[in-house]
């Protein structure tokens, strides 16, 4: 029996990462997967003043007078996927007029955290016994791939562009998604997605015993529902939110054509679920990284295929 | 080194977001106000004051509205802050799931679901009554017997039933098939009736105590005076203000504000949730109160006539029928006499538009609640299926069935209906309040990440608000129970049982599929 813990979209949350590492111990898994959207989105300055460090992130101006307070706030922010940094008012004003510098600083913060995470992973998990797959997603800059690849010789598996073998089952992976309103780093047209996934699938020796680890969920299921947005990117409200299907039609077509053993997806945080797409079990754990909540699926595979699964959250 | 706090114009908070972060979207406070006003709009503005003033008096009604707002204010503030602390689609329900078990949240959600489901059906019937009454009046005004007969037929129980079903069918179709139309429809349905409402109130105020003159011009010389005299003869006296009456009118007042929190179901998409939700919701509530009071004052300004008329209509309808072919007491009905004929023609369609505008938030919002319960696997997954317009299909059908049940319940008498719906629609307030009260202690991990960490004398403000909300919510719930009879209690228990059976079925199904709700919300071990 092979047990997998599958989670997605940690978005820089150190709390989620730590819980994911702990989950492999708690559920005694053979394979741990954290796939898609590993990195965070925001830098939050803690600005040095005479009386301490200033922040207004929590809605009201706050001055942190003790080093311990600053440390606590940094930990809370890191737990929510944010990159806090200590700075001065001069630098803040500079950054407010220099978006390129902000991007550069964000990139560096992303790489630093990813490195820290991977160090923690290899120190806590025996990667000879437990396979650890770490995959970027559409929201992740390409720099992060380089960081993950540096740890391949320490047992971390970077699953893109290769077939990963797990106890007789094969995993193919893909990180791009169909176009979103935010022009994220890894987006592709449906045609491009179709070609790319076919290329990965063609490497498989037995599709029926394979796992499609595609970050983007298939279109038209309960895994790809997101709030509809208007032209100004505001959610459409009609007595409540309107949810529409935003997944990939190419991914859907690939799943239906090849009928793998299962499909593992992420990307749409609100659409957590496990459903069947014409007989193919597909999963999306969803995400609540902002609250430091880890969501995942524990999936058990026997030699005949998927045996059982259950959803966990904590 | 310069030390300078940021210019508030430069950003809401001092953060630097990545270019493609998906964090741009936000609701404005104005969006929140429009939705907060829309849901309570119908009955409070048009119906309750004229209908109830003969019982409670003008100042009893106004006092009840003000007291209802004061009671609901801590609930509104708590809800806005709670959703701001954990912004998610589904409003306060995801938070309750994190604090209590998902099954308790389901219980609360299910009760709220059929409460508001009934409300939709009831208001649909009210809409029929308003439309029919104004049609009767318009037919009288233009001496058109066909219109009078049509309106009278609609006012009969069968007519109300069929008309109510038609309103539900319209909402059903709009929700399932025309979501794209609803967006501009909602705006038009808000502005146009608001203008007409303003006109109606202006004419009512304009006539003031001379209103009988206007009424007589339609129904004949001396008719208004004979209605007043007849009511007096039958023992009616104009109600004076008393605290008792005001407290009795609370049932009306609280129900009138119901639905204001519908907007919170979309709380997950707010960049500045504390500002948008908080100010928008509270601002919306006060706008509603002002409009309620103006409507009540408009009726009260017309002297003794409206109360005498309402007394005869509701207590001695047969006597009133000997004088005129009556329409139900409402703002449109009274206003129609005060307006020129060429303008009064807009009133029947106004009633329809205003009703539909106010019904849609209930209908759609309730279907979204079903959707979110299904996504959480506390209801069968089929209820989360959506069609190509983004509308959850089975959830919409369920809401339609509940609304139809509301139409049926309407025939049982208004007091019992209000009691059932107030009890079921508002029961979740006190459970929600309890969840918020314990939230900073039970879910410290989420609380310390939230933007609402204020403390007062060391106690989290959210806990204090949660305490107030629990008390208010419990008061509202138990108050409404004093008005129900055995039949209503039995009906409530039956509906509760149905929900619990469905939930148990889903729990069993989850277990078979390997989804354990106990595991779903299990706490991960310490890091």
Instruction: Give the CATH number, domain containing residue A141.
Output: 3.60.21.10
- Do A63 and A188 fall into the same domain? no
Q: Pick from A92, A183, A274: which is nearest to B20 by CB?
A: A183
Residue A239 in contact with residue B361, Cβ under 8 Å? yes
With residue B281 as reference, give the H or E element that holds it. Answer: helix B273-300
Give contacts of A176 with chain B, Cβ < 8 Å.
Answer: none
Residue B329 backbone dihedrals phi, psi, to 5 degrees: -65, 125
Cα distance between residue B77 and residue B282, in whole Å? 7
Number of domains composing chain A: 2
- pLDDT at B187 exceeding the cut of 70: no
Cα distance between residue B44 and residue A311, in whole Å? 45
- Do A264 and A156 fall into the same domain? yes
Give contacts of B368 with chain A, Cβ < 8 Å.
Answer: 239-241
Structural domains in chain B, sorted by start = 29-518 (1.20.1740.10)
Q: Report ipTM (2 d.p.).
A: 0.80
- Do A11 and A83 fall into the same domain? no
pTM above threshold 0.80: no
Q: Is B277 on the interface with A (CB under 8 A)?
A: no
Contact state of A238 with B183 under an 8 Å Cβ cutoff? yes
Give contacts of B18 with chain A, Cβ < 8 Å.
Answer: 41-42, 103, 106
- Do A49 and A149 fall into the same domain? no
Q: Pick from B22, B386, B524: which is nearest to A225 by CB?
A: B386
Q: How many Cα neighbours within 13 Å face the side chain of B196?
A: 23
- Do A67 and A209 fall into the same domain? no
Residue A2 in contact with residue A31, Cβ under 8 Å? yes
Residue A233 backbone dihedrals phi, psi, to 5 degrees: 65, 25
Cα distance between residue A62 and residue A59, in whole Å? 9
pLDDT tens per residue, chain A (314 residues)?
Answer: 899 999 999 999 999 999 999 998 888 899 999 999 999 988 999 999 999 999 988 767 889 999 998 998 999 899 889 999 999 999 999 888 888 899 899 999 999 999 999 999 999 999 989 999 999 999 999 999 999 999 999 999 999 999 999 989 999 999 999 998 888 999 999 999 999 999 999 999 999 999 999 999 999 988 998 877 777 666 666 656 677 889 999 999 999 999 999 999 999 998 888 888 998 999 999 998 887 889 999 999 988 888 888 888 87
B192 contact partners, CB below 8 Å, separation of at least 6: B350, B353
With residue B66 as reference, give the H or E element that holds it. Answer: helix B58-85
pLDDT in tens, B93-137: 777 877 887 788 888 888 888 778 888 888 888 888 888 888 887
Query: Taking each helix axis from N to C terminus, what angle separates B331-338 and B179-207, rounded to the nearest 10 degrees?
Result: 60
- Do A76 and A155 fall into the same domain? no
- Do A243 and A294 fall into the same domain? yes
Nearest CA distance, B35 vs chain A (angstrom)? 8
- Do A63 and A170 fall into the same domain? no
- Do A174 and A296 fall into the same domain? yes
Cα distance between residue B373 and residue A275, in whole Å? 16
- Do A72 and A167 fall into the same domain? no
- Do A127 and A220 fall into the same domain? yes
Q: Is B262 on the interface with A (CB under 8 A)?
A: yes
Residue B271 in contact with residue B258, Cβ under 8 Å? no
Cα distance between residue A178 and residue A189, in whole Å? 6
- Do A235 and A89 fall into the same domain? no
Q: Pick from B182, B266, B514: which is nearest to A235 by CB?
A: B266
State the alpha helices, DSSP H only, in A27-149: 67-79, 89-96, 99-124, 143-149
Q: Pick from A26, A228, A313: which is nearest to B521 by CB?
A: A313
B142 contact partners, CB below 8 Å, separation of at least 6: B341
Mode of pairing for the β-strands spanning A169-174 and A164-166? antiparallel
Contact state of B269 with A50 under an 8 Å Cβ cutoff? no
B420 contact partners, CB below 8 Å, separation of at least 6: B115, B118, B409, B484, B488, B491, B492
Q: Is B184 on the interface with A (CB under 8 A)?
A: no
Q: Out of A78, A97, A116, pick the residue that ends a domain.
A: A97
Report B:393-422 residues touching A (Cβ under 8 A).
Answer: none
Give contacts of B445 with chain A, Cβ < 8 Å.
Answer: 15, 291-292
Residue B475 in contact with residue B71, Cβ under 8 Å? yes
The whole domain housing A240 covers 2-40+105-313
What is the structure's pLDDT at A18?
94
B339 or B259, which is more confident: B339
Nearest CA distance, A76 vs chain B (angstrom)? 6
State the alpha helices, DSSP H only, in A125-237: 143-149, 190-201
Cα distance between residue A10 and residue A142, in whole Å? 17
A59 or B272, which is more confident: A59
Residue A243 in contact with residue A204, Cβ under 8 Å? no
């Amino acid at each position: 029996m092979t047990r997998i813990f599958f989670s997605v979209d940690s978005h820089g949350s150190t709390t989620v990462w730590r819980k994911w590492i702990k989950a492999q111990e708690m559920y005694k898994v053979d394979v741990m997967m954290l796939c898609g959207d590993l990195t965070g989105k925001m830098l939050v300055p803690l600005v040095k003043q005479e009386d301490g460090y200033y922040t207004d992130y929590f809605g009201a101006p706050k001055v942190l007078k003790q080093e311990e307070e600053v440390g606590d706030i940094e930990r809370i922010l890191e737990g929510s996927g944010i990159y806090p940094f200590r700075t001065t008012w001069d630098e803040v004003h500079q950054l407010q007029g220099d978006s390129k510098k902000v991007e550069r600083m964000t990139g560096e913060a992303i790489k630093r955290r990813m490195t820290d995470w991977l160090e923690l992973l290899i120190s806590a998990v025996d990667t000879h016994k437990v396979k650890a797959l770490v995959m970027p997603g559409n929201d992740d800059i390409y720099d992060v791939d380089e960081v993950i690849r540096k740890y391949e010789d320490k047992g971390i598996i970077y699953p893109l562009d290769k077939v990963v073998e797990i106890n007789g089952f094969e995993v193919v992976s893909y990180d791009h998604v169909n176009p979103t309103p935010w022009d994220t780093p890894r987006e592709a047209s449906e045609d491009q997605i179709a070609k790319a996934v076919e290329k990965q699938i063609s490497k498989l020796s037995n599709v029926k015993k394979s796992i499609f680890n595609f970050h983007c969920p298939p279109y038209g299921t309960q895994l790809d529902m997101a709030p509809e947005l208007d032209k100004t990117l505001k959610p459409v409200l009609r007595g409540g939110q309107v949810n529409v299907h935003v997944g990939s039609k190419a991914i859907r077509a690939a799943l239906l054509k090849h009928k793998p053993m299962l499909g593992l997806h992420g990307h749409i945080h609100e659409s957590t679920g496990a459903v069947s797409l014409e007989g193919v079990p597909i999963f999306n754990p969803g995400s609540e990284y902002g609250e430091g909540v880890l969501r995942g699926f524990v999936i058990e595979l026997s030699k005949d295929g998927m045996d059982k699964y259950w959803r966990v959250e904590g | 080194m310069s030390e300078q706090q940021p210019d508030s114009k430069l950003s809401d908070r001092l953060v630097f977001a990545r270019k493609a972060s998906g964090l741009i979207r936000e609701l404005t406070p104005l969006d929140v106000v429009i939705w907060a006003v829309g849901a309570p709009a119908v009955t409070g503005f048009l119906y309750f004051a004229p209908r109830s003033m003969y019982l409670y008096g003008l100042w009893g009604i106004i006092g009840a509205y003000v007291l209802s707002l004061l009671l609901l204010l801590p609930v509104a503030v708590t809800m806005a802050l709670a959703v701001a602390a954990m912004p998610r689609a589904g409003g306060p329900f995801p938070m309750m799931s994190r604090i209590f078990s998902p099954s308790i949240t389901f219980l609360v959600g299910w009760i709220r679901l059929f409460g508001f489901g009934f409300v939709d059906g009831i208001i649909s019937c009210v809409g029929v009554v308003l439309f029919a009454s104004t049609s009767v009046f318009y037919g009288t005004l233009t001496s058109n017997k066909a219109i009078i007969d049509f309106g009278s037929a609609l006012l009969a129980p069968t007519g109300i039933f069929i008309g109510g079903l038609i309103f539900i069918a319209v909402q059903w179709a709009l929700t399932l098939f025309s979501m794209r139309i609803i967006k501009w429809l909602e705006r038009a349905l808000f502005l146009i009736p608001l203008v007409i409402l303003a006109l109606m109130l202006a004419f009512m105020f304009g006539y003031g105590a001379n209103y009988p003159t206007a009424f007589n011009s339609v129904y004949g010389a001396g008719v208004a005076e004979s209605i007043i005299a007849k009511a007096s003869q039958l023992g009616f006296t104009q109600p004076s203000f008393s605290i008792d009456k005001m407290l009795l009118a609370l049932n009306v007042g609280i129900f009138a504000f119901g639905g204001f929190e519908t907007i919170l179901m979309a709380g997950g998409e707010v960049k500045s949730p504390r500002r948008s939700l908080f100010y928008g919701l509270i601002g919306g509530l006060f706008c509603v109160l002002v409009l309620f009071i103006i409507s009540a004052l408009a009726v009260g300004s017309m002297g003794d006539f409206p109360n005498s008329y309402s007394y005869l209509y509701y207590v001695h309808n047969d006597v009133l029928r000997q004088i005129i072919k009556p329409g139900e007491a409402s703002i449109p009905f009274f206003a129609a006499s005060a307006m020129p004929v060429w303008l009064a023609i807009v009133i029947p369609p106004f009633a329809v538009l205003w009703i539909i505008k106010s019904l849609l938030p209930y209908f759609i919002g309730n279907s979204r609640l079903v959707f979110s319960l299904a996504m959480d696997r506390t209801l069968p997954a089929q209820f989360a299926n959506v069609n190509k317009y983004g509308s959850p299909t089975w959830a919409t059908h369920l809401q339609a069935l509940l609304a139809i049940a509301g139409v049926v319940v309407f025939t049982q008498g208004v007091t019992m209906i209000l009691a059932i719906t107030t009890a079921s629609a508002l029961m979740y307030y006190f459970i929600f309040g309890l969840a918020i009260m314990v939230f900073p202690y039970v879910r410290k991990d989420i609380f310390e990440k939230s933007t609402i960490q204020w403390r007062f004398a060391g106690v989290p403000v959210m806990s204090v608000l949660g305490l107030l909300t629990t008390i208010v919510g419990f008061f509202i719930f138990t108050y409404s129970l004093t008005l129900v009879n055995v039949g209503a209690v039995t009906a409530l228990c039956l509906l509760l049982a149905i929900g619990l059976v469905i939930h148990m079925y889903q729990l069993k199904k989850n277990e078979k599929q390997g989804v354990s709700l106990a595991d779903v919300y299990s706490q991960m071990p310490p890091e």
